[in-house]
Chains A and B, each alone.
Chain A
Amino acid sequence: MAERAVAINRWPGAVAAALVAALVLGTLLAVVLRAEAGRGLGPAEWAAIRFTLVQAVLSAVISVALAIPVARALARRRFAGRGLLITLLGAPFILPVIVAVMGLIAVFGRSGLVNVALRWAGLAEISIYGLHGVVLAHVFFNLPLATRLILQGWQDIPAERFRLAAQLGFGPRDIFRTLERPMLARVLPGAGAVIFAICLSSFAVALTLGGGPRATTVELAIYQAFRFDFDLGRAALLASVQIALVGMAALIALRLSRRDTFGAGLDRPARRWDAQTATLRVTDTLWIALAALFLILPIALVLADGLPGLARLPSAVWRAAGVSLLVALGSTGLMLALALPMAVAAATGRGWLEAIGLLGIAASPLVIGTGLFIVIYPVADPVALALPVTGVVNAIMALPFALRILVPATRDVVQGYGRLSASLGLTGLLWLRLVLLPRIRRSLGFACGLTAAMSMGDLGVIALFADPETATLPLQMYRLMGAYRIEAAAGAAVLLLTLSFGLFWLMDKGGRGFADA
């Protein structure tokens, strides 16, 4: 009921969603139209679809399951450096894939830290290669995102509720039943769906850590169809399967997560009288420490490996860093222009709009890139448009994450303040400026930081279009590796990591500003 309380236009959201759908489905259609008769899906493709589903479901479930205790620990504890730690925990998600894989291998690989320790202790070695390796890597990438989304759920429970619970003498078990479980029921399906979607289009990670063709994903099958057989029809068919799977996941998540919110509070920081027992202190500390170790160690090793190369980076790498910064800022702006109206529309009863947002990661980058190429080619030089196109595609790819972050926060504002705003006659842009934006500032900063960092680190479609002058930093890093300059590539990885993390930190911090004080 409260959903209709805000007299705010939904059409900008609908327009933004239509643009996204047009880009994702339009590029797919362009590929289909260009296709010649192919051979359709064979047993190899069905095996790829099966494997993709299994690894994506496992990755999503395990990421979310592990994120619950970590997020709960972070929500219950206050300690020096907590804010920094939360920001740091976001780092794996924004890492370029190849850098993250190298970091994981430095820890879990054949000559990685874990195996060195096992050998030293006289124990059997472990192998990272196999389905468990794929899931491990995906958990590494997505645990931070899951933790942040769930932590946000905790932070969105008004402090007054915890105060009331304490006055009623609720223990941890009662708090879980009355406050935390309903919150989790609302947050988990969405978080799971986003992670499922991103794992669905995994390719290089799945292949490398999967140990061989057993770990063929749909995206690899698309790759094969496109470049091995030039069977555009099959590539488009596989891309459609990917989109259908993500669509299904999105619908299930939406169905599961339609719950009422906790109502509004006065934005006081929550105090937790229930969590002061020694056992809880120890378990929380343990969870935080384990998560920090698991997420930060591989990155620290990447940094240590790359620092010597940093001093001797060729000038072309610095130029590429500038290009990447511009692209990242551009796609962040574009993401905001799309995500804000969509979040408002989704929060005021058009929940399915978020499902359209998910299309962005459902779509295969190779198919989007090829489709864009087919569309642009007759009217303009795609190479000249390489950077804008990369910016647009990066914004679309980040949109699902941004929406997942913004929609719950926006919905809370709409449900909590909608009637009051309506009775005061606050509508439109004024409502946006005075009511919505200040209240979702934390989510907004997080979403912007995530988009900028993802855009910075993603190789994206630039590889399909690039000319020598417009290389982005990730592309330049791949080029260094391709030219045997592994040390310089490691240095470039450090620069990339620093820049994307810096952008993420600045925007995330800007958003949190006073909220966590």
Chain B
Amino acid sequence: MKYLSIATGLFAATTALADTPELTIYTYDSFVSDWGPGPAVEKAFEETCACDVKFVGAGDGAALLARIRLEGERSQADIVLGLDTNLTAAARDTGLFAEHSVSADYAFPLGWNDPQFVPFDWGVFAFVKNADLDAPTNFRDLGASDLRIVIQDPRSSTPGLGLLMWIKTAYGDQAPEIWEALADNIVTVTKGWSESYGLFLEGEADMVLSYTTSPAYHLIAEQDASKDAVKFSEGHYMQIEVAGKLKTSDHPELADRFLDFMVSDRFQSIIPTTNWMYPAVTPASGLPKGFETLVVPDKGLLVAPDKVQALREEALSEWLSALSR
């Protein structure tokens, strides 16, 4: 197998001399932005692949999946990067994704054995606050408190959906009560993460739904230790972001090489300080200084991809009726 991939690798390299192959990667918009991982990843892979990497941005993870569904088998994409475990089942159902052969020693709990999708980073949802604020450490106490929070709409935002699944996995049938108790704490619900985070920084809310890694940005990029995340005793819902290769790819070998590269140190060490998430595989050099200060949950929560769809419908209607009163 390895022999074969070396052979195809050589073959790809010789054709590259005549005509550089182009690897098209669809991803979410913030990945390709000048401040995201895109530019560095493109440069690093192009140094080794004798190819052109072309990133195409499409909204966020959910918009990305919609885009692939619209394009179907005619898609120009070789790789789709940026779906998460809430979307992988629906993505698999399209029948567009090929199997991969990547194996790695993943850093996140709960393990990984998805035949089509390869993780590239992961994060943990959490409420972020100013460090000097004493905050409740579970949803029941939060609901009983008079703290003000700002969250995102699960219908238009990935973290918003994450919170929905978080409360649903932690509380099951009691989720509606939790939401009813939280209703008077919620200042407002925004379309996306950026609006919420902006409102929080403006002082509109005491806490914002974000990631445990958010304080790392302020600490590392701004030398500002004034933000931290709250550790909840129920455990925290996780987001594992993945990439997959399309069956219709014109450059299947190159796409496979990219997926291998994706779990390598070179790619993984770009992630923490550009995407502000945890790398899927901890690089040999470890995590950047500052990450050791972050909150680490006692328990990671995650719904199995094939159970997401049904649970999400139920949780959304509970959410809507609790907050629409």
Contact = CB atoms under 8 A, between A and B. Distances in A.
Given A98-B195, A207-B190, A224-B156, A110 B57 contact: no
Contacts of A489: 198
Given A214-B324, A314-B34, A464 B186 contact: no
Interface in A419-450: none
Given A483-B30, A485-B35, A207 B63 contact: no
Nearest to A486: B201
Interface string A353-391: 000000000000000001001100110010100000000
Nearest to B274: A483
Interface stretch (B15-23, B67-75, B254-262): B67-75
Nearest to A211: B188
Contact of B155 (A106, A228, A476, A479): A228
A173 interface: no
Contact of A227 (B62, B190, B323, B324): B62
Given A227-B63, A228-B155, A111 B36 contact: no
B63 A479 contact: no
A194 interface: no
A388 B232 CA distance: 48
Given A377-B74, A464-B58, A464-B63, A482 B29 contact: yes
Q: Is the interface of A mostly helix, strand, loop or mixed?
A: helix
Contacts of A209: 188
A207 B71 contact: no
A481 to B, nearest CB: 4
A329 to B, nearest CB: 24
B169 to A, nearest CB: 19
Contacts of B142: none
Contact of A129 (B76, B187, B193): B187
Interface string A14-51: 00000000000000000000100000000010010000
Interface string A89-121: 000000000100110011001110000000000
A467 B70 contact: no
A373 B70 contact: yes
Among B39, B195, B199, B201, find the residue whose CB has the most chain A CB atoms closer than 10 A.
Answer: B195
A212 B186 contact: yes
A370 B324 contact: no
A220 interface: yes
Interface in B1-39: 29-30, 32-36, 38-39
B153 interface: yes
Given A110-B148, A110-B187, A213-B323, A204 B63 contact: no
A478 B57 CA distance: 13
A110 B202 CA distance: 9
B189 A212 contact: yes
A204 B148 contact: no
Contacts of A485: 35
Nearest to A228: B155
A457 to B, nearest CB: 16
B162 to A, nearest CB: 14
Contacts of B195: 98, 101, 204, 208
A463 interface: yes
Contacts of B56: 383, 467
Contact of A213 (B55, B58, B90, B189): B189
Nearest to A106: B202
Contacts of B221: 484
B177 interface: no
B74 to A, nearest CB: 7
B59 interface: yes
Among B33, B58, B221, find the residue whose CB has the most chain A CB atoms closer than 10 A.
Answer: B33
Contact of B194 (A44, A220, A478): A478
Interface string A473-493: 001101111111110010000
Interface string A456-477: 0000000110111001000110
Contacts of B59: 227, 463-464
Contacts of A373: 67, 70
A417 interface: no
B217 A484 contact: yes
Contacts of A464: 58-59, 63, 67
A208 B205 CA distance: 13
Among A378, A484, A485, A489, find the residue whose CB has the most chain B CB atoms closer than 10 A.
Answer: A484
Among B65, B153, B201, find the residue whose CB has the most chain A CB atoms closer than 10 A.
Answer: B153
A39 to B, nearest CB: 11
Contacts of B33: 468, 471, 476, 479-480, 482-483
Contacts of A105: 199, 202, 204
A500 B221 CA distance: 31
B57 A466 contact: yes
Interface string B267-287: 000000000100000000000
B35 A479 contact: yes
Given A227-B59, A230-B69, A468-B39, 8 more contacts: A223-B156, A230-B66, A377-B74, A464-B59, A476-B33, A483-B30, A483-B35, A485-B35
27 contacts: A34-B70, A102-B202, A106-B202, A109-B204, A110-B205, A111-B202, A111-B204, A204-B190, A207-B190, A210-B188, A211-B186, A212-B188, A213-B153, A213-B319, A220-B153, A220-B191, A228-B316, A230-B69, A373-B67, A466-B29, A467-B57, A476-B33, A483-B33, A484-B197, A484-B217, A484-B276, A486-B201
| Cβ-closest 10 pairs across A and B | A483-B35, A479-B33, A111-B203, A481-B194, A224-B155, A316-B34, A227-B62, A482-B30, A484-B217, A212-B189
Interface of A: 34, 44, 47, 98, 101-102, 105-106, 109-111, 129, 203-204, 207-214, 220, 223-224, 226-228, 230, 314, 316, 370, 373-374, 377-378, 381, 383, 463-464, 466-468, 471, 475-476, 478-486, 489
